[in-house]
Structure 1
């Protein structure tokens, strides 16, 4: 065909989102780092689902309207660096289709070039061998080969084929990919999207699978808002675990840990392939979305505890899905709250763990966005919290390198309303020292300078378990061993015992200039282990002020800071 309109492109976009949804664990499996964190595939999947949701029931015929609404949905739902970059690609594509009702091959090429350009501009220091390379080389290849008489099908085939070839070449551009023996995960996610779009273009629309493929690494992406325990939704469901492969990968303890981090009054009961859950949460939709990865719902009940009435908050996504599964599309609108009086400053942090939340509250932060390694918050999560704190100048501490782009995207969305300043904190400990150096008595520029300078004063580390066998930078890591990790990504050693890993990490971080050692204890550490740690470090590091406290964070047994 010579042109495509909004109706067809809508189907292509949803088909692309569905294809990624069906295959995101495959993308997650490509992640280089063996940590159970917020994985690329899941982040891109949740981002694409946000866009698909926005256009699902629209009937626009012009392609610009559809693409603009889709890109807006991506922007608001973007999670993690990969999700933000994906949203920027489609934002650029939408800009390239401005005011067009249909596009031909040449106009499609121009739109993809626009997508490439906007994505590159969104990243301060673009890295080649990533999703950026894949979109650049695919777009450039079509621009080089497109002709006036070319069909849209042929044009999109060129994009897809070059994207696949570009993906194969990513290990040649990033040594770490070659060392581990994988291609770039973000690029792989983009290829899945393009495959789904191409399939719909050729008349073969891809539906969501009845039971979503399960992430065999057990990573989680459940987002929740920080609210009072007495409010929210009482959520109960019974589900049947999926096929045998799903049953083998389902780990009740890890499943319980993830849900417990984002709710309270949690009860999880498993009887063979039946799992029953009761939890109080602000976001039942996200809880159910995570749980659905492991099987199908047999019964779901949600009660709005604040309004004191029972309300089922889900409806059928489509007739086909409702016939196959009890899974539903969840709408979890935030509860309204009285608007606070406008103030000069507000400080927002990202945190994960009751103890860490309490630490930040001691530092008088104004808002906490729940999130971290296991569940990167979306752009919308930040926007909601910024609007809630109601200040002229809002400082954000992302406390995770994979969250900074989403925070910056929220800043961009609200640039005409609020002065948002994102301090690029990449770890919880950087966030803590940065918050300590914030003062409402100082002007904006002085605070920015002080908080950024404070980042240089702390060395960060963490201990967590490995989700797969691998070798990185000459360090051999075996599945389920505990890794000592320096500054988020530098694995320095691996041990069978978590306390041994902690000792090695602290030994690596402490030097003759160190004066303060902070250790945040994770939720998987027993009381006996905690007492052993306190006794050992207070005795071994007598010349250092040791602050050892409960962080209650999931995934990471210990978070360490040395100043």
Structure 2
């Protein structure tokens, strides 16, 4: 039988062991793009349970499993971390009411965890952590028919997990081509093998680099991170109700770009939605009046806003938790973004709270949940803006004290497009549909670097080479940044494309960005408006939006 104290020690040991081996697991990732790597995400997810588990004194297996599951759920980050948390949550459900666990209990508990994980994944892929866990659970149930000994059943589970892991390259051709096993499956075997060693009488593993890393502070505001040297002082937003025979909105956009930056102009049959930073908001308004009547007008002094939010950020550093607030308005917004310019843009578009994160920095479910509870709204729309953050955001839905809608935004441009589609005067259902439809209207290009040597999707890639991503898929590899930007942008521009927005990152100087802008301007059709914004984002040199 396994008692609660032994299970507690086993999970703590597993947390430290995956932390010690996370780099080995990270290195199994096939895709060369720098990302929130599997080993790191799984380590931080289970590491979130250590402090709470160590406080338990003579617990039952139910108490241990429940404590671990709750902590993992809140600490889950990245798809692999979310799946791991779901395995432990199902495991806890299977041990409900148990003081100790025998072999049958352990086999059934893991089966419950596998079922929970499969249900949460929209399109389960075999040859991943899901397969490793499922086949291991099947072996556990088979063994439990022959013996009720907890140790024998868990040994069978671990042995089968390791055997199935070695078979994953035969299930996923991309793994076989790269000559590696699945990273998530490897993380699972590391964790369960460490638990087995404790069950067998071994000592709890000690961390080689201290306690599991504490997640980075989640920032509530964006402008507070930006430099106090603000070039354009006023953020101006409005909607133009177009008059009959109104001039082409492209002319309004061109004028606004001549007097400011961060210009966003969205046009449909009846209205023009505008956002601009400038030093002369009156000029932005006067020009707009030529196109029709104005409504929803808002002007904010960003220098004053910056000072106030710096003070708020300092206060938050003293108290590193979000302050929950009661709902006071119908709708609110939480977005995940990195880079001061990027975050400020989302805030200008109406986002209440920014969770710092993105590629390589996957925030946890708890990070997102705190931001939701700090948003004074009855319904909170969440924009993950990264495919590896969507599952963690979705786990916050069942934990929140208000209605939460996680939009499937996989990129920053999709998040911006969704915000621009929001209409405060229509119902929740209409907004959800309209904001989701807006995602399909924007194409996203991303330029980053190869984090490792790789032979991927027909490309022989060397570490450090430039990767051009088109709508999340690797398009081509090159070494010249401006050439990559031009080629990628041209490949996304269609006959009906009207706008190209280029967000340049933290590693691109203003002069480099200006040179890139002139190159695009000289090579693209005059019918395409180009907008250049300092996003300040890490990892990606450029993010390109085409509409």
Structure 1 unaligned residues grouped into runs of 5+: 232-303, 309-331
What TM-score results when the alignment is normalised by the length of structure 1?
Answer: 0.78
CA distance in 1, matches of 2:186, 2:377: 40
CA distance in 2, matches of 1:555, 1:221: 19
Aligned to 2:235: none
CA distance in 2, matches of 1:80, 1:307: 25
Aligned residues of 2:324 and 2:375 also touching (Cα < 8 A): no
Query: Which of 363, 372, 378 pairs up with 1:392?
Result: 378
Aligned to 2:449: 465
3-state DSSP class of the match of 1:494? strand
Relative to structure 1, is the Cα distance of residues 390 and 206 closer, same or farther in structure 2, using a 3 angstrom cutoff?
same
Matched, 1:365 2:351: yes
3-state DSSP class of the match of 1:556? coil
Aligned to 1:13: 11
Query: Which of 396, 405, 429 pairs up with 2:391?
Result: 405
Aligned to 1:166: 164
Query: Which of 404, 407, 412 pairs up with 1:428?
Result: 412
What TM-score results when the alignment is normalised by the length of structure 2?
Answer: 0.80
Aligned to 2:403: 419
CA distance in 2, matches of 1:130, 1:491: 21
Cα displacement (A) at 1:371: 0.8
Aligned to 2:2: 4
Aligned residues of 2:78 and 2:362 also touching (Cα < 8 A): yes
1:88-487 aligned within 5 A: 88-147=86-145, 149-211=147-209, 222=216, 224-227=218-221, 306=315, 334-335=320-321, 337=323, 339=325, 342-414=328-400, 417-487=401-471
Relative to structure 1, is the Cα distance of residues 491 and 334 closer, same or farther in structure 2, using a 3 angstrom cutoff?
same
Residues 38-67 of structure 1 show CA distances to partners (whole Å, capped at 9, x for unaligned) of: 111111100011012221121133100111
Cα displacement (A) at 1:119: 1.1
Aligned to 1:538: 521
3-state DSSP class of the match of 2:396? helix
Relative to structure 1, is the Cα distance of residues 108 and 77 closer, same or farther in structure 2, using a 3 angstrom cutoff?
same
Aligned length: 459
Cα displacement (A) at 1:129: 1.1
CA distance in 1, matches of 2:114, 2:26: 23
Residues 111-131 of structure 1 show CA distances to partners (whole Å, capped at 9, x for unaligned) of: 111111111112122111111
Matched, 1:561 2:520: no
Residues 493-519 of structure 1 show CA distances to partners (whole Å, capped at 9, x for unaligned) of: 111222222122112211212111111
3-state DSSP class of the match of 1:389? coil
Relative to structure 1, is the Cα distance of residues 227 and 456 closer, same or farther in structure 2, using a 3 angstrom cutoff?
closer
Query: Which of 473, 488, 491 pairs up with 1:505?
Result: 488
Matched, 1:80 2:74: no
Cα displacement (A) at 1:411: 0.5
Cα displacement (A) at 1:548: 1.2
Aligned to 2:286: none
Residues 335-372 of structure 1 show CA distances to partners (whole Å, capped at 9, x for unaligned) of: 56483652110121111111111211221112211110
Query: Which of 440, 464, 479 pairs up with 1:496?
Result: 479
Residues 314-336 of structure 1 show CA distances to partners (whole Å, capped at 9, x for unaligned) of: xxxxxxxxxxxxxxxxxx95256
CA distance in 1, matches of 2:468, 2:328: 44
Relative to structure 1, is the Cα distance of residues 485 and 338 closer, same or farther in structure 2, using a 3 angstrom cutoff?
closer
CA distance in 2, matches of 1:390, 1:531: 39
CA distance in 2, matches of 1:223, 1:558: 25
CA distance in 1, matches of 2:218, 2:374: 15
Cα displacement (A) at 1:213: 12
CA distance in 1, matches of 2:185, 2:481: 34
Matched, 1:529 2:512: yes
Structure 2 unaligned residues grouped into runs of 5+: 226-312
Cα displacement (A) at 1:386: 0.8
Aligned to 2:307: none
CA distance in 2, matches of 1:149, 1:75: 32
Aligned residues of 2:322 and 2:374 also touching (Cα < 8 A): no
3-state DSSP class of the match of 2:542? strand
Aligned residues of 2:442 and 2:546 also touching (Cα < 8 A): yes
Q: What is the root-mean-square deviation of aligned Cα atoms in Å?
A: 2.3
